[in-house]
């Protein structure tokens, strides 16, 4: 595999020294920072985004700890309640957190009904964008709210082929699609990514989705190979590194 630089835009850290909340009967296995570094040792990871899962709800302690261990080229994507104060958000920003997540698929986050007001509030305050975990076939009724967000992304290629039409509309309006969780989706990721970057070459960012909690097929290095083998060199750099670097505002 060619040694392309990768900004891992989506992975989870699960450290059992910190609170975990059972979600629909599920509790994940340990996957701490050391486990992550071992899992990606063959990849040229130069930075990334640690994403809070449903089973972490509003806990920030694990995320702050993980970011300290990973270093300044890594940022956090967190779940916070809508009644959080501006001062608390600014403090989280100082720890390297750069986005708010709405987990429609699994829960554990603020209500999706608050996405427009809350998402734009954190953007205006600290320039955080909004990340959305949703089955894209369920996007139709939410499109008006999402399109009013100033900066946003959708996880895991939207999960469903039936919702690609909605994702393309979001891309047309500046939305970012995360090419993550290939083992979660019901369509060919390569074809979908080609469709998105045809609309906007800066619209897709790659992530490992490690440790692939609850995914029918976990991440392997072959997911990276799919990008390298099926896109032009400039697009490979954009998808694996450049687009995410700009989206998360990281200097690398």
- Token pair recorded at residue 117: 């007001």
Give residue-wise pLDDT tens across range 205-252: 999 999 999 899 999 999 999 999 999 999 999 999 999 999 999 988
State yes or no: pLDDT of 197 exceeds 60: yes
Does residue 26 surpass a pLDDT of 90? no
**Amino acid 211: pLDDT:** 97
The reported pLDDT for the residue numbered 182 is 97
Which helix (H) or strand (E) segment holds residue 179: the answer is strand 176-179
Residue 109 has pLDDT above 80, yes or no: no
Query: What residues does 154 pair with on adjacent strands?
Result: 132, 177
Helix (H), strand (E) at residue 102: strand 97-103
- pLDDT tops 60 at residue 108: no
pLDDT tens digits, residue range 6-17?
A: 999 999 999 999
Q: What is the pLDDT of residue 214?
A: 87
CB crowding 107-126: b at 16 or more within 10 Å, else e: ebbbebeebbebbbbbbeeb
Phi-psi region of 222 (alpha: psi -120 to 50; beta: other; left: phi over 0): alpha
Taking residues 67-74, report their average pLDDT. Answer: 97
Which DSSP symbol is given to 241? I
Q: What is the dihedral of CA 95, 29, 137, 208, to 10 degrees?
A: 60
Distance CA 195, CA 100 (A): 27
Count of C-beta atoms within a 10 Å radius of residue 236:
19
- 144 with 112: CB under 8 angstroms? no
Summarize pLDDT for 199-214 with one digit per residue, the tens. Answer: 999 999 999 999 999 8
């Amino acid at each position: 595999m060619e040694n392309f630089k990768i900004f891992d835009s989506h992975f989870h850290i699960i450290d059992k020294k910190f609170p975990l909340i059972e979600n629909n009967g599920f509790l994940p296995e340990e996957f701490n920072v050391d486990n992550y570094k071992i899992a990606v040792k063959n990849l040229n990871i130069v930075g990334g985004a640690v994403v809070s899962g449903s089973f972490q709800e509003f806990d920030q302690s694990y995320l702050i700890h993980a970011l300290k261990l990973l270093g300044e080229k890594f940022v956090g994507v967190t779940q916070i309640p809508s009644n959080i104060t501006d001062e608390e958000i600014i403090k989280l920003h100082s720890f390297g957190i750069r986005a708010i997540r709405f987990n429609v698929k699994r829960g554990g986050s603020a209500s999706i009904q608050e996405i427009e007001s809350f998402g734009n509030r954190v953007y205006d305050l600290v320039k955080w964008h909004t990340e959305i975990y949703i089955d894209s076939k369920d996007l139709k009724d939410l499109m008006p709210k999402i399109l009013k967000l100033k900066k946003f992304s959708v996880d895991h290629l939207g999960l469903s082929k039936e919702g690609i039409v909605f994702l393309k509309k979001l891309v047309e309006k500046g939305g970012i699609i995360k090419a993550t969780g290939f083992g979660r989706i019901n369509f060919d990721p390569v074809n979908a990514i080609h469709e998105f970057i045809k609309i906007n070459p800066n619209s897709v960012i790659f992530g490992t989705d490690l440790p692939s909690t609850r995914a029918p097929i976990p991440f392997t290095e072959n997911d990276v190979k799919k990008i390298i083998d099926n896109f032009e060199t400039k697009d490979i750099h954009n998808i694996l590194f450049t687009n995410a670097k700009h989206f998360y505002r990281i200097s690398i």
